[in-house]
Amino acid sequence: MTRYIFGQYAHPLKPEAIDFGEKCTECKRDTSFGSGLFVNRIPSQMEHESPDGEFELRDGWMCWECQQVECDQCPIGELTLEYQIVDGTILCPNCLDEQVRVGSIFEDPDNGFFHYRD
């Protein structure tokens, strides 16, 4: 939520980022070397809303499990790290291959992006 204050927009975040160190900024699990989550972690800076409605900026790492996204086409909502966004729809590799195979999605030869056929 953005607030309008004194002629300018102000974001409700606290201006300073909270250093999470080696913890995941999403689930707060340890991502340090030897934890089992070190290899696939990525740098992360995210906004988090607390239960009381306050926002904070978290700075640290995100573990591989929190990086996963849900496929919009899978009936079970498959979580995946590898995905393509096709016209706003998140597709896992299996669903993308199936959509290309049946011809409902094509790859634009000019830029390599996938699009749905009209």
- Res 63 pLDDT > 60: yes
Helical residues (DSSP H) of 1-118, grouped into ranges: 64-67, 93-102
- Confidence at 12, pLDDT banded by 50, 70, 90: low
Q: End-to-end CA distance of the chain, in Å?
A: 36
Q: What is the mean pLDDT of residues 89-111?
A: 86
Dihedral (Cα; 59, 65, 67, 70), 10-degree rounding: -140
- With a cut of 50, say whether residue 4 has pLDDT above it: no
Question: Does the pLDDT of residue 114 top 50, yes or no?
Answer: yes
Instruction: Report the C-alpha gap between 105 and 74 in whole angstroms.
Output: 16
95 pLDDT exceeds 90? no
